[in-house]
Structure 1
Amino acid sequence: MEYKHLHEANRLSWNAATRAHNRHKGDQAAFFRAGGSPLFPEELALLGDLQGQAVLHLQCNAGQDSLGIARLGARVTGVDISDEAITFARALSDASGIAAEFVRSDVYDYFDGLAAAGGQGGSFDTVFSSYGTLCWLSDLARWARGVAAALRPGGRFVFVEFHPAALVFDPQWQPRYDYFNDAPVHEAGVGDYVGETQNAREDPQASASEAFTNPHPSHEFAWGLGRVVAALLAAGLRLEALEEYPYMNGWCAFEGMQDLGGRRWGMPPGMARMPLMYSLVARRPESA
């Protein structure tokens, strides 16, 4: 793979960032044992009834959403490139009493493993991915083909992502990143966006009490909405739903964003609304 070395650099960056993120989240096992769920209403509505389904959660991070999906009655396999994230996810599964399988793998390597196992159709009823996943993918067409191949005939891909139109801005709302960009963008490292969002919610004027500097740089890729849809269609999936939202779930990405409640953030007061997030559902046809 042309960018395999960048994926490995991102793995190290995510290992460091995951430790920082989880220190802000409290006792997550107790949260789950008390009946809590990290899933937002958008995911719950899109996923629908998962009872008895086999669900593949791609780029599952530390497994919190995977366990939320398993709580809905699904048999979940979570895949993530970060060693730290998968170690945490397995421990959280044990401590919470919610069963799920977690696999440490680059998503492309995981797809290759599925292909090597053979068969005309995938084994998953639903493939799911959400929030800040596409920017780590160096080959969009290969990703879309992998998603399609992982699905059984009739299976669905459910996807929620931050809108690429918003991601052209830096945190001060200044245009910085090219929407149409084929080259990787090199950054200082995955940041502690969990802590920054928590601080913004508790006191918008406060600075982070525990500054985090990632010792490992990261490398991201920009994929416009049209290219995402085109890649999924080219992989043989059929688009069933596409929606845009004027808010972000779980991330206060820019200065002055309004806390809308429910871990949701909207545009600053007085600014014209723009799409900050989108979702789509695509299905693998029952037959070719």
Structure 2
Amino acid sequence: MSSPRRDLHELNRRSWNEATRAHNSHKGDQAAFFRAGGSTLFPEEVDLLGPLEGKRLVHLQCNAGQDTLSLARLGADVTGVDISDEAIAFARRLAAETGIPARFVRADIYDWFEEAAARGEQYDLVFSSYGAVCWLSDLAAWGRGIAGVLAPGGAFALVEFHPVVGMYDDQLRLTWPYRDPEPFIGPGVGDYVAASGEGLVPWGFEPGVTGFENPHAGAEFAHGTSDVIMALIGAGLVLEVFREYEYANGCRFFERAEMREGRRFYLPADTPAIPQMYAVRARKPA
């Protein structure tokens, strides 16, 4: 049986600390955006999660907390968990500056699963999204961890970039395998916010940090969609929803991608309409 690669998680913690500062440099006064009623959520995750009023929700790999606070704004009792010190510190400041109630925990999620289960914590919803799965070193342990903190009848919801996207570089050249049992250790987290512009900062993109190069390496893991689904089923959850989308919300992966209505990036008509996102919902039996 495999086990989480905490040594590689530590590489990623340092990498995300650097990248988070660069990402937030493009986003201006985020507190003002939220105080004015703004939300960073897309319709896909709102639809997948369903009504949130009064629901206990944990947002895994929550990054700097923008989506977490948007979920709290919809009525959920929210906890956000992320490995990055910089991201959690920013999320806590943003919650304080906006007055939106949310708890944020700095932890490797594999450690958090064990600690939360030992405390007897139970959630109605577990949520994760957009660029989370590629950082998971042990999908089986991840699935078990989710099942362990879900209340009976509760659901896990995931909206994620499709692993097919990870096979290509930004020029649509086939570069990496669809799945690989070995981690890929290479350049750290890049400045995808700068590459995506208004796709990720609709309230007003700012140049911020330019020419960002992460000084820390990163370790990514190539998991197929079936690997994700089977990890959840293997942990005893029941699959309810699986969807694929030919666009990517907010994030420009390919140089020729075109942003259309709803800040969705599509490939042009002369290229194959590969899936760029997928969604999963799985429920713990009552």
For normalisation by structure 1, the TM-score amounts to 0.93
Map of 1:66 onto structure 2: 68
Q: Tell me how far 1:89 sits from its aligned partner.
A: 0.1
Map of 1:97 onto structure 2: 99
Q: Tell me how far 1:165 sits from its aligned partner.
A: 1.5
Q: Which amino acid aligns with 2:57?
A: V
Q: Tell me how far 1:208 sits from its aligned partner.
A: 9.7
For structure 1, which segment, 108-117 or 277-286, has the greater mean C-alpha deviation from structure 2 after superposition?
A: 108-117
| Partner SS, residue 278 of structure 2 | strand
The reply to whether residue 128 of structure 1 matches residue 127 of structure 2 is yes
Map of 1:233 onto structure 2: 233
Map of 1:256 onto structure 2: 256
Query: How far, CA to CA, are the matches of 2:53 and 2:105 in structure 1?
Result: 22
- Work out whether residues 201 and 259 of structure 1, in 8 Å CA contact, stay in contact via their aligned partners in 2: no
For structure 1, which segment, 258-267 or 211-220, has the greater mean C-alpha deviation from structure 2 after superposition?
A: 258-267
For structure 1, which segment, 108-117 or 136-145, has the greater mean C-alpha deviation from structure 2 after superposition?
A: 108-117
Map of 2:204 onto structure 1: none
Q: How many residue pairs end up in the alignment?
A: 279
| Partner SS, residue 96 of structure 2 | helix
Q: Describe the superposition over 1:177-217 as per-residue Cα deviations: whole angstroms up to 9, x where unpaired.
A: 11120100012110000011118999xxxx99810010001
Q: Describe the superposition over 1:70-94 as per-residue Cα deviations: whole angstroms up to 9, x where unpaired.
A: 0001100000000000000000000
Map of 2:270 onto structure 1: 270
Q: Which has the higher contact order (CA 8 A, sep 6+)?
A: 2
Q: Tell me how far 1:268 sits from its aligned partner.
A: 2.3
Change (3 A) 1:103 1:195: same
Q: Which amino acid aligns with 2:163?
A: P
Change (3 A) 1:52 1:201: closer
Identical-pair percentage? 54
Greater than 6 Å deviation, 4+ residue runs: 199-202
Query: How far, CA to CA, are the matches of 1:42 and 1:125 in structure 2?
Result: 19
The gaps in structure 1 that reach 5 residues or longer are none
Q: Tell me how far 1:123 sits from its aligned partner.
A: 1.0
Query: How far, CA to CA, are the matches of 1:114 and 1:98 in structure 2?
Result: 23
Query: How far, CA to CA, are the matches of 1:133 and 1:200 in structure 2?
Result: 18
The residue correspondences of 1:129-168 to structure 2 (distance < 5 A) are: 129-168=128-167
Query: How far, CA to CA, are the matches of 2:171 and 2:199 in structure 1?
Result: 14
The gaps in structure 2 that reach 5 residues or longer are 202-206
Q: Tell me how far 1:258 sits from its aligned partner.
A: 1.0
The residue correspondences of 1:208-227 to structure 2 (distance < 5 A) are: 210-227=210-227
| Partner SS, residue 128 of structure 1 | strand
Map of 1:7 onto structure 2: 9
Q: Which amino acid aligns with 1:126?
A: L
Map of 1:195 onto structure 2: 194
For normalisation by structure 2, the TM-score amounts to 0.94
- Work out whether residues 196 and 208 of structure 1, in 8 Å CA contact, stay in contact via their aligned partners in 2: no
Map of 1:41 onto structure 2: 43
Map of 1:179 onto structure 2: 178
